[in-house]
Chain A
Amino acid sequence: DTGVSQDPRHKITKRGQNVTFRCDPISEHNRLYWYRQTLGQGPEFLTYFQNEAQLEKSRLLSDRFSAERPKGSFSTLEIQRTEQGDSAMYLCASRKGQVADGYTFGSGTRLTVV
């Protein structure tokens, strides 16, 4: 169990550029979540995958955001035409089985849009 890995840890980009983040969940975890955390706030749900199927998307996930999880393994989150308001920590979490089994979070990708 190597935990949930996220890459990169930090990303600085110019407004208008596209960025892509990667999450590698724990291998036997079939459920994967993306959250966004802004400074001084708790994480907010963005989207959820069960295996390769994206089953729920938050209203926070505008048309500029897209997430994939091909083959039900790693996941990517892409933001197109970044805006300064996209600056945040993007967290990935995975779990196996029941909610009560708990979630494992990655260390996050901190995005700064300048």
Chain B
Amino acid sequence: GDSVTQMEGPVTLSEEAFLTINCTYTATGYPSLFWYVQYPGEGLQLLLKATKADDKGSNKGFEATYRKETTSFHLEKGSVQVSDSAVYFCALSEGGSNTGKLIFGQGTTLQVKP
């Protein structure tokens, strides 16, 4: 079945450092891809999305490009802030599914130090 694999964490960076969190997927159809962020004690918030190959999703300085040839959707940010500390989840929505359910990766914890 469809699956999502993320780089293991935690990722620890200093403020203003460059961030990359790797995400690769396996899917039989043409999924939509998402990054969600979860702050401590809270639910998931949609960070960005891309619905077809070569689309770039962006929000709050974060970017990710839907790469069909490498089945990847890596999350990047040029300069992280302490407030970006959270758990980041890569997810796909099955392309051929009638339900549109999400398949999540295991999450990557980001810690940004001042």
B2 CB to nearest chain A CB (Å): 11
User: Which of B45, B91, B99, B104 is packed against the most chain A CB atoms within 10 Å?
Assistant: B99
The prevalent SS among residues of B at the interface is strand
Give chain B residues whose Cβ lies under 8 Å from the Cβ of A72: none
Looking across the interface, which residue of chain B has its beta carbon closest to that of A43? Answer: B104
- Whether a CB of chain A sits under 8 angstroms from the CB of B101 is yes
Give chain B residues whose Cβ lies under 8 Å from the Cβ of A102: 34, 46, 49
- Whether a CB of chain B sits under 8 angstroms from the CB of A40 is yes
B53 CB to nearest chain A CB (Å): 14
B96 CB to nearest chain A CB (Å): 11
Query: Which of B100, B103, B105, B107 is close to A95, meaning CB atoms less than 8 Å apart?
Result: B100
- Whether a CB of chain B sits under 8 angstroms from the CB of A25 is no
Give chain A residues whose Cβ lies under 8 Å from the Cβ of B42: 107
Query: Do A91 and B106 contact each other (CB < 8 Å), given the known contacts A42-B89, A42-B91, A100-B32?
Result: no
Mask, B53-87, CB within 8 Å of A = 1, is: 00000000000000000000000000000000000
Give chain B residues whose Cβ lies under 8 Å from the Cβ of A44: 104
Contact between B98 and A103 (Cβ–Cβ < 8 Å)? no
A47 CB to nearest chain B CB (Å): 9
- What is the interface size of chain B, counting residues whose CB is below 8 A from a CB of the partner? 25
- Whether a CB of chain A sits under 8 angstroms from the CB of B24 is no
B107 CB to nearest chain A CB (Å): 5
- Whether a CB of chain B sits under 8 angstroms from the CB of A56 is yes
User: Which of A42, A91, A103 is packed against the most chain B CB atoms within 10 Å?
Assistant: A42
Looking across the interface, which residue of chain A has its beta carbon closest to that of B55? Answer: A100
Mask, A82-99, CB within 8 Å of B = 1, is: 000000000101010001
Mask, B87-114, CB within 8 Å of A = 1, is: 0010101000011111111110000000
Other contacts beyond A42-B91, A42-B104, A45-B103: 11, CB < 8 A: A6-B43, A35-B102, A40-B106, A42-B106, A43-B89, A43-B104, A45-B102, A48-B100, A56-B101, A99-B100, A104-B46
Interchain residue pairs A-B with the least CB separation, the first 3: A42-B104, A105-B43, A107-B43
Binding site for A on B (CB under 8 A): 4, 32, 34, 36, 41-46, 49, 51, 89, 91, 93, 98-107
